[in-house]
A and B are shown apart, each in its own frame.
Chain A
Amino acid sequence: EAQVTQNPRYLITVTGKKLTVTCSQNMNHEYMSWYRQDPGLGLRQIYYSMNVEVTDKGDVPEGYKVSRKEKRNFPLILESPSPNQTSLYFCASSFVGQPYEQYFGPGTRLTVT
């Protein structure tokens, strides 16, 4: 089954404790992206990657890191999480080329206390 998976789905952590949210897709998509979704603010892009070893900042990259060592994986790293990073996070992927519909993972609900 074609899908984007994320782990963990739910995470409660404390300020400053490094964490990684994994994202994996099995559709051979070149493009992958991370979003956060907050009430009243909608979906905002954190980072994206056009292909292996190619990453770039989105609209709200501060406090986040990513890497793209393999085509299928695009982990999101929070080196020192803070309470303002409490949010619902989505990973998405797509082919590169028109009309490049993006497919989303199920989401990770992160709470930083």
Chain B
Amino acid sequence: RKEVEQDPGPFNVPEGATVAFNCTYSNSASQSFFWYRQDCRKEPKLLMSVYSSGNEDGRFTAQLNRASQYISLLIRDSKLSDSATYLCAVNKRNSGYALNFGKGTSLLVTP
């Protein structure tokens, strides 16, 4: 099983829709989880950290399910500007500060 896995998509959704992505991880001892956003050929930028209790930032909600070893990202009221690739990241086994990234999920929001 790969360390971090994501459905590559693409997810094509209309403006205003709610969309959710999941990301599974294999290391049950992982402590840190993140969602990054990457626009085409640009650098990844941190979207949000994922806390055990779940967290929300405007239209974005991130949740952690330790029992099933996945994190999720929910985007409500999708905007055209949300079109991007969303990468999940989990700290590596035996290397607390290094991150394993998923390959990303592509989102296209259409008018």
A residues bordering B, Cβ < 8 Å? 31, 33, 35, 40-43, 45, 48, 50, 58, 88, 90, 94, 96, 98-107, 109
Closest 5 CB pairs of A and B: A42-B103, A104-B43, A43-B101, A101-B46, A99-B49
B97 touches A90 (CB 8 A): no
Q: Does B87 contact A (CB under 8 A)?
A: yes
Given A40-B103, A42-B104, answer yes or no on A101-B49 (Cβ-Cβ < 8 Å): yes
> Residues of B contacting A33 with CB < 8 Å?
98
Q: How far is the CA of A109 from the CA of B99 in the complex (A)?
A: 22
Q: Does B44 contact A (CB under 8 A)?
A: yes
Q: Does B69 contact A (CB under 8 A)?
A: no
Q: How far is the CB of A27 from chain B (nearest CB, A)?
A: 13
Q: How far is the CB of B59 from chain A (nearest CB, A)?
A: 20
> Residues of B contacting A103 with CB < 8 Å?
46
Within 8 A of A (CB), among B33-86: 34, 41-46, 49
> Residues of A contacting B27 with CB < 8 Å?
none
Interface centre among A45, A50, A94, A99, by most chain B C-beta atoms within 10 angstroms, is A99
Q: How far is the CA of A9 from the CA of B16 in the complex (A)?
A: 36
Q: How far is the CA of A49 from the CA of B46 in the complex (A)?
A: 20
Q: Does B32 contact A (CB under 8 A)?
A: yes
Q: How far is the CB of B6 from chain A (nearest CB, A)?
A: 9
Q: How far is the CA of A35 from the CA of B43 in the complex (A)?
A: 11
> Residues of B contacting A50 with CB < 8 Å?
97
B97 touches A104 (CB 8 A): no
